[in-house]
Structure 1
Amino acid sequence: METPGYRQAALGSVTRAVHAGLLLTVLMALVLLAGRVSAQPEVCVNDALDQKLCLASPAERVVSLSPGATELLFSAGAGDRVVAVSAWSDYPPQAEAFPQVGDSNRLDLETIVALSPDLVVAWIDGNSRAQLEKLSAIGINVFWLAPRRFEEIAQAVEQLALLTGQPEVGRQRAANFREGLSELQTEYAAAPPIRVFFQIWDQPLMTVNREELISKAITLCGGVNVFADLPRLVPRISAEAVVVANPEAIVTSGEDSSDLSGLARWQQFPELAAVKSNNLFIEPPSLLARPTFRMLDGTRHLCETLERARATL
């Protein structure tokens, strides 16, 4: 016959068993969680200086030190992690709302340090290595960019996405960029060559050599950069050199495609093939100025411009 004491003892045994089971479950969950945390690998990438940067966890506070880096960070899906930018960071439009920490001439290192960033993205052609070494010396992670090829733009976005914790976003957007370029390459692979002078600046007169991305865009469109072999990335040239090169199209950039005042000097040289054919063109500056995903739209526009030039020859 079951007694009250027996029922109480049995109930106590069941209670202890339940508590033991719950405790075991909790302990197992903690062990599994600890295993996952300890097994989480560092995120490591090599930057444009071939320096290996490793982060124990994705960056959550990012400072961009160039307009191009700002664009690439947004393309990588990391716009919500940006806490400050450099001057002239105007794309996408929301980038203009961030506090600025200087420009290519001078960075406000104190402000950068006060922001406690876990990642600073710098640009080789625009930022001072001496200044950035001061940040590295106090333990701030600096990642350097310098895209010189279309593929390096895609890789930069993938790297920034990895460093900020959304690698799949970076992979997908980089794949779309590569696909767009591949389509352009296929479309213009058989285009007749056309000699092109791209005027970067009027006073002093400046152009680009083969290493600059604008030159690579010209090549993709079937054009031939008449100053491709010059040693400097953005060399100064003379008007006489342009006359000797005799380009069939002269292109520059400007906000107003109908304002050819920046190319007016070439009307003094009616013997130029480009002038004879009225092949003087203005390209949208925002699409070719920076090595970012917008280069795809800029290259597409340039290809269409060179097609118009071919039609006159």
Structure 2
Amino acid sequence: MAIGILMLLLVLSSHALADVCATDDTGAMLCLPEPARRIVTLSPGATELVFAAGAGGQVVAVVEYSDYPPEANALPSIGSHTRIDLEALVALKPDLVVTWVSGNPVEQVATLETLGVASFAIEPRTFEGVSSVLERLAVLAGTGAEGDREAARFRRGINELAEQYRGRKPVRVFYQVWDQPLMTINDEHLIGKVISMCGGQNIFAGVDRLVPRIGPEDVLAGNPEAILSGGADEDGNSYTSLERWQSFTSMKAVEADNLFIIPASPISRPTPRLLEGARTVCEKLDVARARLQ
């Protein structure tokens, strides 16, 4: 009898050890009986992260604007990140849904949980958070080696960039997220952290909201020395404008011609491509420094 009980305990223990577990960005632990083979991503950033973690071949559906890597364009869409087609999602029988903490509708995510669909919420807010989520997604997808390798590459690149720009002369920066309505970011936002790393001083660093709406008078009062906007597609075509600032000739950024529109996706999504976006920001701020001398 004792031997039988021992064998049962060993079997149960082996099953428990076979589970793959990770903690999401809300602090919730998710355990799957085996690595996920059918993954649905509910934000463009989540799509990029899952592919970067080596699990792109396991993604069965995405949401609108999941345009990177190019292979993601061929995947079926189940709506937008703000309006998910739950019926289509459930019909795909996913064993993992990667959600966006502040971007997906709370009610729809709760419905998924009610239906017993395994969900993993992500929203990296730091450079380390990007590397960490890559590692955790790779655990859940069974692609640990690929995820760990990409996470290490990103950490190394960010550290090298931070060292390269350490001690650069500060440049007062306004980052324009959108022009109508006028929106920016604070220093809790990853873009704010990129600006700081590059030696910039975000003139809206201390505002309460992550992505606040502001007025033109607020920008004028801050008198930035450089204005940046992530408003260009991958081909360099602008879909936002900095033209409104040109008439304010007393503003230091305008006087020095330090108005820059940069590719949007690399700087605005919390993925490994943020390293590419950060390099662009640092280079533009170096140009701005030279023009201010």
Structures share fold, TM-score greater than 0.5: yes
**CA 1:184/1:136 → structure 2, altered by over 3 Å: closer, same or farther?**
same
Aligned length: 282
Match for residue 79 of structure 1? 56
Picking from 17, 40, 50, the partner of 1:63 is 40
Deviation at 1:104, TM superposition (A): 2.4
Which region of structure 1 is more displaced relative to structure 2, 113-122 or 131-140?
Answer: 131-140
- The answer to whether structure 1 residue 244 and structure 2 residue 221 are counterparts is yes
Deviations 1:180-233 (A, max 9, x none): 000000000011111000011111111111111111110010100000111111
**CA 1:237/1:153 → structure 2, altered by over 3 Å: closer, same or farther?**
same
Alignment of 1:90-101 (within 5 A): 90-101=67-78
- The answer to whether structure 1 residue 156 and structure 2 residue 133 are counterparts is yes
Match for residue 97 of structure 2? 120
Match for residue 231 of structure 2? 254
- The answer to whether structure 1 residue 144 and structure 2 residue 121 are counterparts is yes
Unaligned runs of 5+ in 2: 1-10
Deviation at 1:37, TM superposition (A): 5.4
- The answer to whether structure 1 residue 45 and structure 2 residue 22 are counterparts is yes
Alignment of 1:11-30 (within 5 A): none
Match for residue 4 of structure 2? none
**Aligned equivalents of 1:35 and 1:124: distance in 2?**
34
Q: Once superposed, what is the RMSD of the aligned Cα atoms?
A: 2.0
Unaligned runs of 5+ in 1: 1-33
AA in 1 matched with 2:79:
G
**Aligned equivalents of 2:91 and 2:238: distance in 1?**
45
Residues 118, 140 of structure 1: 8 Å contact kept: yes
**Aligned equivalents of 1:131 and 1:230: distance in 2?**
30
**CA 1:39/1:127 → structure 2, altered by over 3 Å: closer, same or farther?**
closer
Residues 101, 112 of structure 1: 8 Å contact kept: yes
Residues 260, 282 of structure 1: 8 Å contact kept: no
Deviation at 1:177, TM superposition (A): 0.4
**Aligned equivalents of 2:261 and 2:132: distance in 1?**
30
- The answer to whether structure 1 residue 308 and structure 2 residue 260 are counterparts is no
Secondary structure of residue in 2 paired with 1:311? helix
Picking from 264, 270, 277, the partner of 2:256 is 277
Structure number having the greater strand percentage: 2
Deviation at 1:138, TM superposition (A): 2.0
Match for residue 205 of structure 2? 228
Deviation at 1:35, TM superposition (A): 9.7
Alignment of 1:30-41 (within 5 A): 38=15, 40-41=17-18
Residues 73, 160 of structure 1: 8 Å contact kept: yes
**CA 1:131/1:242 → structure 2, altered by over 3 Å: closer, same or farther?**
same
**Aligned equivalents of 2:115 and 2:230: distance in 1?**
42
TM-score by length of 2: 0.91
Residues 37, 95 of structure 2: 8 Å contact kept: yes
Deviation at 1:125, TM superposition (A): 2.1
Match for residue 3 of structure 1? none
Residues 179, 240 of structure 2: 8 Å contact kept: no
**CA 1:43/1:297 → structure 2, altered by over 3 Å: closer, same or farther?**
same
**Aligned equivalents of 1:119 and 1:109: distance in 2?**
14
Residues 67, 87 of structure 1: 8 Å contact kept: yes
Q: Could you say which structure has the larger radius of gyration?
A: 1
Residues 231, 240 of structure 2: 8 Å contact kept: no
Secondary structure of residue in 2 paired with 1:96? helix
Residues 178, 240 of structure 2: 8 Å contact kept: no
